[in-house]
Amino acid sequence: MTYHLYESDPYIKSFDATVEKIDGDWILLDQTAFFPGGGGQECDLGSIGGLRVTEVKAEGDHVYHRVPGHTFNPGQRVHGEIDWDRRYELMKGHTGEHILFSSILRESPDIELVKIHISPSKKSLVIKGHVDWSVISKAQKKANEIIMKGLAVTECWLERNEVSTSGIRAKLERITENKIRIIKIDGFDQAACAGIHVRNTAEVNAIFVTKISSAKPIGDFEISFEVGANAMMKSIFFGAIALHASDVIGAQPEHLVNAVENMKHLVTVLKDSLKKHARERLRSLVPERHGPFKIYSGLFESVDRKLLTDEANRFIQEEKTVCIFGSTDERALFILAVNKDVDIDCPGILNKCLSEFGGKGGGQKHFASGGTTDLIHINEVFRNILDEVRFALSQKVANDR
Ligand SMILES: [Zn+2]
């Protein structure tokens, strides 16, 4: 077995050991400071005998180190050094996770921890149950208070039956051993864990939640966070954005969320009202007549494509009817539609008129739509489509005489 130096001293940065076994790139040592990863925390990296350790894994109590290009032999003494910056970041992240989850649990007692991920680039916890920004904000405040209190983080080993009756956070169904390692944050939290932690919560320095996202199907939510200097810098960065946004919309920062929600509601109400108004205008259109043909036309502002399409479809139910609709938003939208008894090439006309102004159209012979980003010339496009249709219809009227 490999003696796990990292368990008795998580702060050990270098060590000497004897090579016990070689298996290709992989070497087994009699003792190691390299944490092989586990429980969601990534393994340590570093060097052995001056060569890069690219991966570390555990098989039972044995810890294997992958050292590509090594020429070690069993019995040889080697010197190992771990990448301390990486390890310390993972220790802070892992301890931060205990503090954060326990703080969320106080706000939302029904949640359950599904898994965690602790690496230099990603720190998150996946939970089952409901959380929202209001819960997370309170929990985050609590977690930072615990960090600032500088509480001791200690480990102890308990018998399985002691753990099951103690109220300690533990996923006993996932643990096979009878002796279980418990990580205790003085007066705040106790959890079964095999990972590596700092000795005092103050070392975490700060914790900042950066994102709440869906974690379906393995859980309900994934909560991403940063610790230490990264947490400070991100909170400063996003804090400034929140203050700037408050200023832009003229709300106090503490009322920003309410103000944005009110604006969102107002936009919905206004859009509904615009839609209602547009529908009334569309329904009161008076057709222009060309012999037996009728042309309904109109250029609107900010009418959505669905409403225009629905109304065009409704108009062309009438025999010998043509519809020409346009609407402008960030781009211009045009619809040209005719009843099946009107022999007009809708996509052809739309393409011809739109291509002059950098746009294009397409669709069926009797129903075409298209657009352009050239908003300056929309009146011209609209007039051109109307003229093309009038010309086509007048030829049909002349032919029928
Ligand atoms: Zn842990």
pLDDT value at position 278? 87
Residue 276 Cα to ligand 1 middle (Å) = 57
Confidence band, pLDDT 50/70/90 cuts, at residue 172? confident
pLDDT value at position 396? 86
Residue 197 Cα to ligand 1 middle (Å) = 6
pLDDT value at position 381? 94
Residue 122 Cα to ligand 1 middle (Å) = 16
Task: Give the span between the Cα atoms of 168 and 191, in whole angstroms.
Answer: 5
Give pLDDT tens digits for 118-149: 999 999 999 999 999 999 999 999 999 999 99
Residue 98 Cα to ligand 1 middle (Å) = 6
Across 186-204, average pLDDT: 94
Q: What is the mean pLDDT of the chain?
A: 94
pLDDT value at position 339? 96
pLDDT value at position 301? 84
Residue 184 Cα to ligand 1 middle (Å) = 10
How is residue 44 annotated by DSSP? Answer: P
Give pLDDT tens digits for 54-70: 999 999 889 999 999 99
**Percent of the chain at pLDDT above 90?**
81
Residue 146 Cα to ligand 1 middle (Å) = 16
pLDDT value at position 174? 80
Give the chain's length: 401
Residue 290 Cα to ligand 1 middle (Å) = 81
Residue 137 is which amino acid? Answer: S
Task: Give the span between the Cα atoms of 209 and 233, in whole angstroms.
Answer: 12
Residue 119's SS3 state is coil
Residue 153 Cα to ligand 1 middle (Å) = 10
Residue 239 Cα to ligand 1 middle (Å) = 29
Residue 118 Cα to ligand 1 middle (Å) = 10
Which residues are bridge partners to 289 per DSSP? 294
pLDDT value at position 32? 97
Residue 147 Cα to ligand 1 middle (Å) = 15
pLDDT value at position 62? 95
Give pLDDT tens digits for 23-45: 999 999 999 999 999 889 999 99
pLDDT value at position 164? 78
pLDDT value at position 302? 81
Across 191-198, average pLDDT: 92
- Contact partners, residue 382, CB within 8 Å, separation at least 6: 297, 299, 324, 326, 334
Residue 113 Cα to ligand 1 middle (Å) = 12
Task: Give the span between the Cα atoms of 202 and 36, in whole angstroms.
Answer: 25
Residue 89 Cα to ligand 1 middle (Å) = 13
Task: Give the span between the Cα atoms of 383 and 375, in whole angstroms.
Answer: 14
13 pLDDT above the threshold of 80:
yes
166 pLDDT above the threshold of 90:
no
pLDDT value at position 91? 96
Give pLDDT tens digits for 295-308: 999 998 888 889 99
- 3-82, which class in CATH? mainly beta
CB 155, CB 183: distance < 8 Å? yes
Residue 13 Cα to ligand 1 middle (Å) = 19
Compute how many other C-beta atoms are within 10 angstroms of the C-beta atom of residue 316.
21
Residue 1 Cα to ligand 1 middle (Å) = 23
Give pLDDT tens digits for 273-286: 888 888 898 999 99
pLDDT value at position 171? 83
Query: Who wins on pLDDT, 164 or 288?
Result: 288
Helices in 316-345 by DSSP H: which ranges?
none
Annotate 16-35 with DSSP letters as a single string. Answer: EEEEEEEETTEEEESEE---
Give pLDDT tens digits for 76-96: 999 999 999 999 999 999 999
- Contact partners, residue 363, CB within 8 Å, separation at least 6: 346, 347, 350, 369, 370
pLDDT value at position 177? 82
Lookup: tokens for 190? 């106790």
283: phi then psi, degrees, rounded to nearest 5: -75, -20
Q: Classify each residue of 342-369 as buried b or exposed e, where b means 16 or more C-beta atoms within 10 Å of its C-beta.
A: bebbbbebbbebbeebebebeeeebbbb
- 88-239, which class in CATH? alpha beta
Enumerate the domain spans of the chain. 3-82, 88-239, 285-400
Torsion of CA 173, 179, 181, 185, to 10 degrees: 100
Residue 40's SS3 state is coil
Residue 90 Cα to ligand 1 middle (Å) = 10
The residue ranges of DSSP E strands in 43-152, in sequence order, are 46-48, 51-53, 55-59, 62-66, 77-82, 112-118, 123-128
Q: What does CATH list as the number for 285-400? A: 3.10.310.40
pLDDT value at position 220? 93
Residue 105 Cα to ligand 1 middle (Å) = 16
Give pLDDT tens digits for 215-268: 989 899 999 999 999 999 999 999 999 999 999 999 999 999 999 999 999 999
Residue 195 Cα to ligand 1 middle (Å) = 5
Lookup: tokens for 133? 């920004």
Across 94-122, average pLDDT: 95
Give pLDDT tens digits for 313-349: 999 999 999 999 999 888 899 999 999 999 999 999 9
pLDDT value at position 178? 85
The residue ranges of DSSP E strands in 193-251, in sequence order, are 207-214, 221-227
Percentages (nearest 5) of helix, strand, coil residues in the chain: 40, 30, 30
Task: Give the span between the Cα atoms of 51 and 98, in whole angstroms.
Answer: 34
CB 195, CB 182: distance < 8 Å? no
Residue 87 Cα to ligand 1 middle (Å) = 14
401 pLDDT above the threshold of 80:
no
Task: Give the span between the Cα atoms of 328 and 278, in whole angstroms.
Answer: 13
Give pLDDT tens digits for 351-382: 999 999 999 999 999 999 999 999 899 999 99
